[in-house]
Chains A and B, each alone.
Chain A
Amino acid sequence: MNLPLLSIITWLPVLGGVAVMLIGDGRASLARWAALIVSLAALGFSVPLWCHFDASTAALQFVERLPWVPAVHSDYYLGIDGIALPLIVLTTFSTVLVIIAGWTVIEKRPSQYFAAFLIMEGLMVGVFSAADALLFYVFWEAMLIPMFLIIGIWGGARRIYATIKFFLYTFLGSVFMLVALVYMYLKAGSYDLAALYQLPLDRTEQTLIFLAFFAAFAVKVPMVPVHTWLPDAHVEAPTGGSVILAAIMLKMGGYGFMRFSLPIAPDAAHSLDWLVIGLSLIAVVYIGLVALVQTDMKKLIAYSSIAHMAFVTLGCFVGYEIVAATGNTSGETLALSGAMVQMISHGLVSGALFLCVGVLYDRLHTRDIGAYGGVINTMPYFGAFMVLFGMANAGLPGTSGFVGEFMVVLASFKANFWFAAVAATTLITGAAYTLWLIKRVVLGPVGNDGVASLKDLNGREFFVLGVLAVAVIAMGVYPKPLTDVMEPTLRHLVQLMSVSKL
């Protein structure tokens, strides 16, 4: 079988999205089904991607390479390794769920809604599969337009403020990356990522390039103090937009650190790791406390996302300290796989929590925690799901949330006791804000008439949350298939990180 699988998964949703848009709002039901079929097809095509992936090598697989912009020696060059594969599958998987979740909820311009998500899907897959830096950048930036429209058209009351803030923040971060990429192209003569990995750079260059990438990726993750766009964007976005933002777009920051910052500027990453580790630990503690005082459910989950993503950045950069403390790189691989597992897990858990909030919002049209209470009395199935995802968010063993955090904390312990100690406070704050949220929303006596009139999940909602619940538990109990796929790639990454370019 020699289908260009990556191109199919990238372009099928984009073209499908255009087709769905052309179907138009007049035939909304047809548009919905078409969108579902396209997204299922994309998910279907990612199955052979997983099955035929050779997990014993770090080399790029499913490679497609065609000349694209010969003037700057940039190729249409796709290929995936063990880091990209899980994220691509997460993308195609989440998109299907988002489309099902928005099935009847979206009444305003439905065909454009579904089209926007399909186009997003294609572009996000493009980001993860690009092996050419310019192609990566094009996908990376192109993604902003559909997301801008999703938040701006279907969002809440302050959607316009939120979406413009989102766009400008991310755009500002990325233009620095563009300058860094062009600079390296002029030295290396190619945008091929492999060539950039080999490019020798002195310390000043590395530092500046690292900071340029840091601007792009730290905004996307997001890290303190450039996280302020996220609560706004998450709160104002429609449910589907929040899910895609949390599940996929935040991951691009972590992915960018692994794909660009660490292998391209290893020495600068080493000498500046205190910055990232420091900001990550601040995020864990400070943002955890901020989450505690939120009164808006979406905002609470948004802040919890920032705290959880801090484990990803911690896992990416704590490796240098581990090597310095223990002298071998085994802990480094552990930290990186912890970061990866945390990304996938957070994608599932936060996506699920946003869907839960969406379920409530569709019924009572408020996200205010005070407006709920005792939901479990009228919505027992929903209550069960929400409790499960809350537990996963708090990092309960047996759920996916535990695995990644545990791996990162364990690895940090090898570097420095205090890193681990501070990071582990998430077990307290994370549990505090999540459980308190659950207590106030789900448990207790029926809070008011609105809650008393609630109807439990319909089949569609049950299906979406059920699938996510299965995934969360499966990953929590048996994460080995996932870690096995990434293992060789991460080893290779550790090698690239530890070879000085000076």
Chain B
Amino acid sequence: MNQILANSLALATPEIVLVIGASIVLIVDVFLNDAQRGISYLLALATLVVTAVFVAALPEGRNVGFTGMFVVDGIARFLKLVACGSVAAVFLYSRDYLRVRGLFRGEYFVLALFATLGIFVIVSAGSLLSMYMGIEVLALSQYALVAFDRDSSVAAESAMKYFVLGAIASGLLLYGISIVYGVTGTFDLASLAVHTQLGAGTNVGVLFGLAFIVAGIAFKFGAVPFHMWVPDVYHGAPTSVTMFVAAAPKLAYFALALRVLAEGLAGAVGAWQQMLIVLAVLSIGVGNIVAVAQTNLKRMLAYSTISNVGFILLGILAGTPAGYRGALFYTVAYVLMSLGSFAMILLLSRKGFEADRIEDFRGLAQHRPWFAWMMLFLMASTAGVPPFVGFFSKLYVIQAVLDVGLTWLAIVAVLFSVVGAFYYLRVIKAMFFEAPAGESVDESSVSFKFLLSLNALSVLALGLCSSLLSDTIAKAFH
């Protein structure tokens, strides 16, 4: 028995390290004055690095611990590494922004680390219960993060919206889980898979529960019609928090969909495929069309996220290994692009000024041509223009959809991506074709600029050599 427990604990070392690290930051931060706050920042970064090292050291292949509650496979390892990387990038990007606004406090890092823990638990979940636990850890940390700027009423409002709607979604999810449990008698995803394959997949009770579970997942992802919170939260939260909310959690929600739908409820694929088709079409359509009307870049990126989520769902709903790989490729590419896009807002922001309107990017090509080009890369990539990585991510999911015979869906998706191209072009237009509105002040550190350039150039590099990413993903699924 002890041996089994020891094995399980060995599999969970990254999570354990993460909890210890977060706790250390929490305790140490209490004893620091504002001038020493950098120590918390460095400790938080160190925690992520050490966690990543432990993730890399996990055994190969599929391992199960805690009586099936906890799974460590290729996908979990890959997603955890990407999550560590993207959270670390958020920290690096946010430092100057937070410091200038008097938000450079330990809680930010502690909450973000606990959110990362939630992500870790979700991607390794082997049962509906452990999954739900991860979702709540992630969600509660995010509610607090959004409200993190105490003096901002907009942030408080959006946190409240997020919390109320998020609680409803959690309720839906939990209700769905309880019905599925009631019918099948198990929380375990592996035995759930067996049940649904043996006929429970068409059981009315399971399908009823499935509808609630899909609604919960759609809410977490921000898919239409469960997207209402996305624009408000993206807009209202401090940009460095928006960046966090936009990027890393998407990895967890991808895993959530993959584990619950593709693994646990594989036998009900026909049912959830129909539901996801509706969600995907609505998300791609509404996201792209409403984004056209936005003048605030953060809101525009929020609607762009909604449409991107639609594309991720396209890959998942294909229900094929190629589709899941495509969806994961899309998710990772999206994380990379949204990190870069929000970092551009941080780059142009300064004390008392948020560069979050499209017009704040006017004339960027004249006074800071390098970063105008970096933003062009990011926008063109998100629009799906080759040779950037965003094109290949769209290619893979469209290929997956065509492969299962849903040609009309592929055509709808590409048509809306033409609509989408318009609002990305508007940003490029503001940067390259219009005259600068005022003087820009360069307040960013060298490391920030280096990371942002690296981020944007990787969007190009992963497009030219997309096999770098797709091979890694294929290996993770193996």
| Interface of A toward B, CB cutoff 8 Å | 67-72, 109, 112, 134, 137-139, 141-142, 144-145, 148-149, 152-153, 159-160, 163-164, 167-168, 171-172, 175-176, 178-179, 182-183, 185-186
Q: Cβ of B254 < 8 Å from any Cβ of A?
A: no
Please give, as numbers and ranges, the residues of chain A lying within 8 Å of B380 by CB-CB distance: 145
Asked if B37 CB lies within 8 Å of chain A CBs, one says: no
Say if the beta carbon of B417 comes within 8 Å of chain A: yes
Shortest Cβ distance from residue A362 to the other chain B in the assembled complex, whole angstroms: 22
> 14 new A-B pairs (CB below 8 Å) besides A167-B421, A171-B385?
A69-B392, A69-B467, A71-B467, A138-B386, A142-B385, A142-B386, A142-B387, A145-B380, A148-B425, A148-B428, A152-B429, A153-B432, A172-B418, A182-B398
Size band of the interface chain B makes with A? 35 or more
A125 to B366 alpha-carbon distance, docked (Å): 30
B349-392 vs A, CB cutoff 8 Å, 1 = contact: the mask equals 00000000000000001100100000010001000011100011
Check A141 against B418 for contact (C-beta < 8 Å): no
B386-423 to A contact mask, C-beta < 8 Å, 1/0:
11000110011011001100010011001101100110
Asked if residues A179 and B407 are in contact (CB atoms below 8 Å), the reply is yes
Contact A171 B418, beta carbon cutoff 8 Å? yes
CB–CB A141/B414 < 8 A: no
Most buried by A among B392, B402, B433: B433
Does residue B471 face the partner (Cβ distance < 8 Å to A)? yes
- Min CB distance A111 to B, Å, is 10
Contact A179 B410 (CB under 8 A): yes
Give Cα distance in the complex from A176 to B376, angstroms.
Answer: 24
Query: Do A182 and B433 touch (CB < 8 A)?
Result: no
Taken together as a complex, chains A and B put the C-alpha atoms of A152 and B372 apart, in Å, by: 15
Contact, CB under 8 Å: A178 / B395? yes
B396: which A residues are within 8 A, CB to CB?
Answer: 71-72
B474 part of interface (Cβ distance < 8 Å)? yes
The residue of chain B having its C-beta at the shortest distance from the C-beta of A151 within the complex is B433
Contacts of B432 in A (CB 8 A): 149, 152-153
A242–chain B nearest beta-carbon distance, Å: 18
**Can you list 25 A-B contacts (CB < 8 A)?**
A68-B467, A69-B467, A71-B474, A112-B365, A112-B369, A134-B395, A138-B387, A139-B386, A141-B385, A141-B391, A152-B433, A163-B433, A164-B429, A167-B421, A167-B425, A172-B415, A175-B414, A175-B418, A176-B411, A176-B414, A179-B407, A182-B398, A182-B399, A182-B410, A183-B407
Partner pick for A178 among B398, B421, B433, CB 8 A cutoff: B398
Kindly provide the distance from the CB of A72 to the nearest chain B CB, expressed in whole angstroms: 7
Closest chain B CB from A462 CB (angstroms): 33
Known A152-B429, A152-B433; contact A186-B399, beta-carbon cutoff 8 A: yes
Q: Known contacts A178-B395, A178-B414: does B402 contact A159 (CB below 8 Å)?
A: no
- Could you tell me if B391 and A138 are in contact, using CB atoms closer than 8 angstroms? yes
- What separation, in Å, do the CA atoms of A417 and B366 have in the docked complex? 58
Name the B residues within 8 Å of A186 (CB-CB).
399, 402-403
Minimal beta-carbon separation of B337 from chain A (angstroms): 16
Q: How distant is the Cα of A126 from the Cα of B421 in the complex, in angstroms?
A: 23
Contact of B433 among A67, A134, A153, A172 (CB under 8 A): A153
Question: Which residue from A145, A179, A185 sits with its C-beta under 8 Å from B411?
Answer: A179
Residues of B within 8 A of A112 (CB): 365, 369
Set of chain A residues within 8 Å of B414, measured between Cβ atoms: 175-176, 178-179
Q: Determine the distance from Cα of A415 to Cα of B467 in the docked complex, in whole angstroms.
A: 49
**Would A171 and B421 count as touching, CB distance under 8 A?**
yes
Contacts of A172 in B (CB 8 A): 415, 418
- Nearest-neighbour CB distance to chain B for A208, whole angstroms, equals 8
Write out the residue numbers on chain B whose beta carbons fall within 8 Å of the beta carbon of A72. 395-396, 399
Give Cα distance in the complex from A447 to B465, angstroms: 59
Q: With an 8 A cutoff between CB atoms, is B466 at the interface?
A: yes
B13 in the interface (beta carbon within 8 A): no
Q: Please provide the 5 A-B residue pairs with the shortest distance between their CB atoms, ordered closest to farther.
A: A175-B414, A138-B386, A71-B470, A152-B433, A141-B386
Bound state CA distance, A159 and B432, in angstroms?
12
A185 to B395, CA, bound (A): 12
Q: A145-B385, A168-B418, A182-B402 are in contact. Are A70 and B467 (CB under 8 A)?
A: yes
Alpha-carbon gap, A219 to B403, bound state (A)? 28
Minimum Cβ distance to chain A for residue B467 (Å)? 6
Interface-centre pick from A71, A148, A159, A179 (highest chain B CB count, 10 A): A71
Q: Are B386 and A137 in contact (CB under 8 A)?
A: yes
Q: Is the CB of B429 within 8 A of A160?
A: yes
**Which residues of A sit under 8 angstroms from B474, Cβ to Cβ?**
71
Q: Knowing A171-B418, A178-B395, A182-B395 are in contact, say whether A145-B376 is a contact too (CB < 8 A).
A: yes
Contacts of A69 in B (CB 8 A): 392, 466-467, 470
A149 to B431, CA, bound (A): 11
Whether A71 contacts B402 by the Cβ 8 Å rule is: no
Inter-subunit contact A179/B398 (CB<8 Å): yes
Nearest Cβ on chain A to B391's Cβ, whole angstroms:
7
Docked Cα-Cα span, A138 to B417, in Å, equals 16
Q: Do B415 and A175 touch across chains, with their CB atoms under 8 A apart?
A: yes
- A149: chain B residues at CB < 8 Å are 428, 432
CA distance A178 to B27 in the complex (A): 55
Query: Taking the nearest CB of chain A, how far is it from the CB of B456, in angstroms?
Result: 14
Residue of B nearest to A112 (CB): B369
Distance in Å from the Cβ of A478 to the closest Cβ of chain B? Answer: 40
Residues on A with beta carbons closer than 8 Å to the beta carbon of B415:
172, 175
Chain A residue with Cβ nearest B469: A71
Query: How many angstroms from the CA of A172 to the CA of B407 in the assembled complex?
Result: 17
User: Which residues does chain A contribute within 8 Å of B376, judged by CB atoms?
Assistant: 145
Contact pick for A179, options B365, B392, B402, B421, CB 8 Å = B402
Are the CB atoms of A164 and B399 closer together than 8 Å? no
Instruction: Report yes or no: A164 in contact with B398, Cβ–Cβ below 8 A.
Output: no
Question: Smallest CB-CB separation from B325: which chain A residue?
Answer: A71
- For residue A270, give the distance in angstroms from its CB to the closest CB of chain B: 24
- B376: nearest residue on chain A (CB-CB)? A145
Measured in the bound complex, the distance between the Cα atoms of B392 and A137 in whole Å is: 11
Measured CA separation A70–B472 after assembly (Å): 12
CB 8 Å contact bits of B449-472 with A (1 = contact, 0 = none) = 000000000000000001100110
How does the 8 Å CB contact mask read for B136-165 relative to A, with 1 for contact and 0 for none?
000000000000000000000000000000
- Docked pose: A163 CA to B398 CA in angstroms: 28
| Residue in A71, A164, A175 whose CB lies within 8 Å of B425 | A164
Q: Which residue of A lies closest to B434 (CB)?
A: A160
Chain A residues with Cβ below 8 Å from B386 are: 137-139, 141-142
Whether A144 contacts B385 in the complex (CB less than 8 A), given A152-B433, A179-B414, comes out as yes
- Say how far A477's CB is from chain B's closest CB, in angstroms: 42
Instruction: Note all chain A residues with C-beta closer than 8 A to B407.
Output: 179, 183
A385: min CB distance to chain B, Å: 33
Q: How far is the CB of B206 from chain A (nearest CB, A)?
A: 32
Chain A residues with Cβ below 8 Å from B428 are 148-149
